Amino acid sequence: MYAFNYHRPNSLDAAAQALAANEDAKLLAGGQTMLPTMKQRLAMPSDLIDLSGIAELRGVCEDGDAVVVGAMTTHAEVAANEIVRSKIPALAKLADGIGDPQVRNRGTLGGSIANADPAADYPAAVVGLGATVKTNKREIAADDFFVGLFETALEPGELVVSVRFPVPEAAAYAKFDHPASRYAIVGVMVARTGGGVRVGITGAAPSAFRQTEMEQALAGNFAPDALDGISVSADGLNGDIHASAEYRAHLVGVMAKRAVIAARG
């Protein structure tokens, strides 16, 4: 790890100022990607701005027909939160399946989606549940948030404040995990809402995406059979020593079916 300056602001404004004041500054949320990267000397931020001192970034509340999760809420807190568990149990279950207990006790929702790792779990929830990302500057719809590999719509100086998840009628997340890292090789969040069905997929492609063909089929018939005959193209999907693009494409179908079965209860 290289030397860096450490800041722990206690307000959003102070964090934004610190970020703007240092060209090579980085935000530190749970640090579950940032710190290992720094320890391997693959990242060299001049300044780390630790967000853990900003109270308003933490916690879960109900807001009408949605659940709002603060950016600095840890995976373990989401998994254990009564509001999440009763309103969107699929989200609690997803959070409970991220990494291991150490990761879940440090890693945060905001850190995960801002990093936009193609294999992270939360992007599937944000996309699949049709969430809205609130930043210190604006609100960003899920469909516009994930732009590419480790790339989001966040602009310089912009940081995630909270994520608003609309409560679905039914939802479930099915994950096929990476054998070594336990990230998602493929993760599928399926959600049925008053407005239709959403299918959010992580792991398979450079960034989380919706599978609209599946959404349309499930809107007519929310049953696993509805997905029969839909073949997912391997074009543009990720491939590595653990799973080729073709295998990932196949797994999208398998995991989507499993998610539908689980969502039906």
Partner 1 sequence: MPDSGIGAAVKRREDFRFITGRGRYVDDINRPGQLYASFVRAPIAHANVRGIDTAEAEKAPGVVAVFTGEDLEADGVGSLPCGWVVTDKHGEPHKAPPHWPLVRGKVRYVGDHVAVVIAETLAQARDAAELVEVDYEDLDPVVDLAQAGEGAQLHDEAPGNLCYDWELGDKAAVDAAFEQAAHVTKLDLVNNRLIPNAMEPRAAIGEYDVGSDSYTIYSTSQNPHLLRLILCAFVLNLPEHKVRVVAPDVGGGFGSKIYAYAEETVCTWASKKLNGKPVKWTAERSESFLSDAHGRDHVTHAELAMDAEGKFLALKVDTKANLGAYLSSFATAVPTYLYATLLAGQYATPAVHCNVRGYFTSTAPVDAYRGAGRPEATYVIERIVEVAARDMKMDPAELRRKNFIQPDQFPYQTPVALVYDIGDYEPTLDKALEMIGYRDFAQRRAESEARGKLRGIGFSAYIEACGIAPSAVVGSLGAGVGLWESAQVRFNPTGSVSVFTGAHSHGQGHETTFAQLVSEKLGVPYEQIDIVHGDTGQIPMGMGTYGSRSLAVGGSAIVKACDKIVEKGKKIAAHLMEASVDDIEFDGGQFKVAGTDKAKGIGEIAFTAYVPHNYPEGVEPGLDETAFYDPLNFTYPAGVHIAEVEVDPDTGETKIVDWVAVDDFGKVLNPMIVEGQVHGGIAQGVGQALLESAVYDDSGQLVTGSYMDYTMPRADDFCEFRVGMTVSECTHNPLGVKGCGEAGAIAAPAALMNAITDALGAEIDMPATREKVWRHAQAKLKAAAE
List 80, 244, 261, 262, residue binding partner 1 (CB under 8 A):
244
Q: Residue 234, interface with partner 1 (CB under 8 A)?
A: no
Q: Residue 250, interface with partner 1 (CB under 8 A)?
A: yes
Which range touches partner 1 (CB under 8 A), out of 61-69, 102-110, 139-147, 178-186? 178-186
Q: Residue 242, interface with partner 1 (CB under 8 A)?
A: yes
* Contact of 142 with 133, CB cutoff 8 Å: yes
Cα separation, 151 vs 145, in Å, equals 9
Residue 1 or 21 with smaller CB distance to partner 1: 1
Cβ 175 to partner 1, closest distance in Å? 11
Residue 96 or 158 with smaller CB distance to partner 1: 96
Query: Total binding residues for partner 1 by CB under 8 A?
Result: 17
3-state secondary structure of 225: helix
Cβ 181 to partner 1, closest distance in Å? 5
φ and ψ at residue 199, rounded to 5 degrees:
-125, 110
List 41, 42, 101, 156, residue binding partner 1 (CB under 8 A):
41
Pairing of strands 60-63, 146-148: unpaired
Which two three-digit tokens encode residue 30? 């749970």
Cβ 256 to partner 1, closest distance in Å? 12
User: Which DSSP category does 150 fall into?
Assistant: T
List 17, 230, 247, 261, residue binding partner 1 (CB under 8 A):
247
Longest CA–CA separation in the chain, Å: 57
User: Which residues, including other chains, have CB under 8 Å from residue 127's CB and lie 6 or more apart?
Assistant: 142, 143, 145, 146, 189, 198, 200, 201, 202, 208, 209, 210
Q: Residues in the site for partner 1, rule: CB under 8 A?
A: 1-3, 40-41, 176, 179-181, 241-244, 247, 250-251, 254
